[in-house]
Amino acid sequence: MNPTRNDLSKPVRKKIVALLNARLADAIDLTYQVKQAHWNVKGPNFIGLHKLFDEIHGEVEAVIDDIAERAVQLGGTALGTVRIAAKASSLKEYPHDISDGSAHVAAVSDALAKFGKAVRAAIEESDKIGDKDAADLFTGISRTVDKYLWFVESHEISKS
């Protein structure tokens, strides 16, 4: 840990930095999964999905920066290379053999839902560890992820 005048104890900061880095890996993976969908989507809803996936990519990039900067603010090191993220991400691999818009909608929805669940768990864990600021950061991320999950799922054909 790097020295800081932050008044959170070193043990608290270490635990939070580890949690932040875990979600950072997921967020980096998510941003490139969404970009994969953006590049490869085809079908009658191409332009709408292409633009939506690009918008989500931009939002997740902002999330990445917020998570990484919080880790560094606490005296930690943001572990944000693509290779580190690939090894550490809890998200499942994005399918490489799809192009249809509905298949990308399902895959992106799955990734957003998994990330959202991990972020909600991080809210609780941050609060339990004793960093309300990290809990607040994760709460904002959770709202953003839920919004984009709603946007993407709205492209699914109703199964009722």
- What is the structure's pLDDT at 145? 98
Q: CATH says 10-153 is which class? A: mainly alpha
- Report the pLDDT value the prediction gives residue 156, as an integer from 0 to 100: 86
Residue 35: per-residue pLDDT: 98
Angle (nearest 5°) at CA 107 between 105 and 113? 95
pTM: 0.95
Round to whole Å and give the CA distance between 136 and 130. Answer: 12
- The pLDDT value recorded for residue 158 is 60
* 54-72 mean pLDDT: 98
Q: Residue 89, by phi and psi: left (phi above 0), alpha (psi -120 to 50) or beta?
A: beta
Q: Average pLDDT of the chain? A: 96
147 half-sphere exposure, CB direction, 13 A CA radius = 11
Q: What is the pLDDT of residue 157?
A: 73
Least confident of 59-73, 129-143, 146-160: 146-160
Average pLDDT over residues 58-85: 97
- Which pLDDT score, from 0 to 100, does residue 112 have? 98
Report the pLDDT value the prediction gives residue 137, as an integer from 0 to 100: 98
Residue partners of 106: CB distance under 8 A and separation at least 6: 156
Quick one: tokens of 123? Answer: 């809210």
